[in-house]
Structure 1
């Protein structure tokens, strides 16, 4: 870790990853491990484990934040910028182009291929619930927290209720001392001065500003919705679904069919799932909307990484704080479980044939382990034939 990398070097490596990293956040972390621990030796096993642990504890897209942190540790702020740009832009451009295509041809969102993508999303989110449940809810207490959050959100699922339910899960985790995962001791963080506090203050001020009233559909409203979603999402790309659905579908800015079609397409492209924001921004405000939405949804995660790196030195020594975060992570599983039913299931499955389609897709994804970038277009084509 002594040698620093140039902007061009970091950008080139992460661009290749951004063009080839299919499979979602868990797969991205595997690609990063192979590239930066095994092949290049930029980080030790212990250091990489600590970077991943920190980014899993922070709100935002964990895999993108991990890449950002690696870029920062290797090339400081220029390295972080290079890593984020290169890893994010390929999928963001593809999602924005998809949005512009639907804007030019609105009737396309009503075809059978959209039904196929919507049913594909049911299987993908169901698979994510299963995987996250195994990892984040290994005991009865955390399973109970996940079910508690799911029940609360199914009965009253507003954005404020989501925040309150996750806060309650964190409080229970703190009081009951949920066993946190072990933190390593191998990462030495080269962070000095007052900049981390500046990033933390900026994060909080922008979050407070995102709750100020704004006219639905305006650029200010778009930025606020995206920033708030990026700031309050624990668990990565799949969990952003209910937050964005509440803002865009609930307000009538985007139809449920278009929303789920875009989310299905996001599964088929490489790179972070948070680039779904470019699709929603493109639908709402064209090119400026796509750019603004992309920057706004990623900005809180960037600020938290720069503010949180020095905090990690303290956090890994205080198990009660990590227990609270373990409770929040269990609550995230409940949040995704509630979203699996509404809007994902209720918007897609309305016939026995639809249920059979979902079961077959889930088997292909979870048992046969077919890659999502193959399944997504296959489901769209099959849906065009069947529905």
Structure 2
């Protein structure tokens, strides 16, 4: 199988099985690409996570895009995005016409089981990343301080602040230390990059679309252009993860009356139960929107528009950062920011992942069992997903019976 085909196949499977939201996705990615396939080393992975957390856009999808870029170039990046997003986008288009029809205790129990699996996946990621990215006292201290800060402050700005402070602490505390070997064995230290030329082109396209799309929407009065502009602007302004896009989309889509408020809330609820990126909610809104072509065409416009800014900015940033990271102080910045990411994931493991998923003793037992399967028995994450969903569905059937 070629690299491109392998990228598409693996990300398609992840798009079908990666439940639990963006933090859980990072756990699934680490299990698949760092632990099992060794397409990328743990330190480089942590660096990518830190960079994508700091940039606007859907962080987990940006990380997946970068992994595809590293494995199979620009075509691989597009394949990774398409395969990871397609299942949830297709389900959201279906939900636009059938929202609320899948109910009952068995379906609800399966969803509950999948949420518990996400707890185990994130815990596994935090455990593994802590050993690699925060193995000593200085970085362990940065990770713990970041977790405490994010937990106490809360909100979408807290992770950005934690990464910035972690990076600063790394520059002051870790910047003069020698470079460490990349792990695991066989992984190249180089960051994925399409090159400076592609980065400049990406930045020009990003700025051009930001300026031109609202003007074109107003001048032409074309619904498809207006739909693209609304989702493109929303995707550009999203800092702090998928849930932050909710008020932006509400302002851009519901406020002007393109989608009914009740339908908006119902679709957002459905998006929580689906695998893949939360930004796939855009497909639902594009399909329902009274502006633009609606249906599958409207969904396609919305999906491309909301993801495109984050990917363009990542392409523009990667070659610049790849050049800077070789310097001693830049290495300290990377280590501090990566340690902060461990703390951010640790805080997210508690809230919202654990607090919203584990409310009963049987769910806690399932979470421990799934964690053991991932860490002790090295079970693939998709196997644990299937077992968790089956356990949850069975529990729902027993309760209803």
TM-score (norm 2): 0.66
Q: How does 1:226-245 map to 2 (within 5 A)?
A: 226-229=235-238, 243-245=241-243
Which of 138, 157, 176 is the aligned partner of 1:141? 138
Q: CA deviation at 1:342?
A: 1.4
Measure, in 2, the Cα distance between the counterparts of 1:190 and 1:246: 29
Q: CA deviation at 1:89?
A: 2.1
| Matched-pair contact (CA < 8 Å) for 1:154–1:338 | yes
1:294 and 1:200, CA in 2 relative to 1: closer, same or farther beyond 3 A?
A: closer
* SS state at 1:138 partner: coil
Determine the structure 1 residue equivalent to 2:29: 24
1:67 and 1:362, CA in 2 relative to 1: closer, same or farther beyond 3 A?
A: same
Measure, in 2, the Cα distance between the counterparts of 1:227 and 1:342: 26
| Matched-pair contact (CA < 8 Å) for 2:64–2:81 | no
Determine the structure 2 residue equivalent to 1:270: none
Q: CA deviation at 1:170?
A: 0.9
1:169 aligns with 2:166: yes
Q: CA deviation at 1:327?
A: 0.9
| Matched-pair contact (CA < 8 Å) for 1:219–1:285 | no
The superposition leaves residues 323-369 of structure 1 with CA deviations (integer Å, 9 ceiling, x where unpaired) of 11211111111111111111111111111122112111211222222
1:108 aligns with 2:105: no
Deviates more, 1:103-112 or 1:331-340: 103-112
The superposition leaves residues 274-314 of structure 1 with CA deviations (integer Å, 9 ceiling, x where unpaired) of x4432x22344434356534553364345433543365244
| Matched-pair contact (CA < 8 Å) for 1:197–1:307 | no
Runs of at least 5 residues in structure 2 that lack an aligned partner in the other structure: 18-27, 53-58, 183-187, 212-226, 251-260, 288-295, 397-401
Determine the structure 1 residue equivalent to 2:76: 83
Tell me how large the CA RMSD over aligned residues is: 4.2
| Matched-pair contact (CA < 8 Å) for 1:26–1:63 | no
Runs of at least 5 residues in structure 1 that lack an aligned partner in the other structure: 1-8, 35-44, 73-79, 209-217, 233-241, 267-274
Q: How does 1:57-136 map to 2 (within 5 A)?
A: 58-59=51-52, 60=59, 61-72=62-73, 80=74, 82-103=75-96, 104-106=98-100, 108=102, 111-136=108-133
| Matched-pair contact (CA < 8 Å) for 2:110–2:391 | yes
Alignment length (residue pairs): 327
Measure, in 1, the Cα distance between the counterparts of 2:103 and 2:143: 34
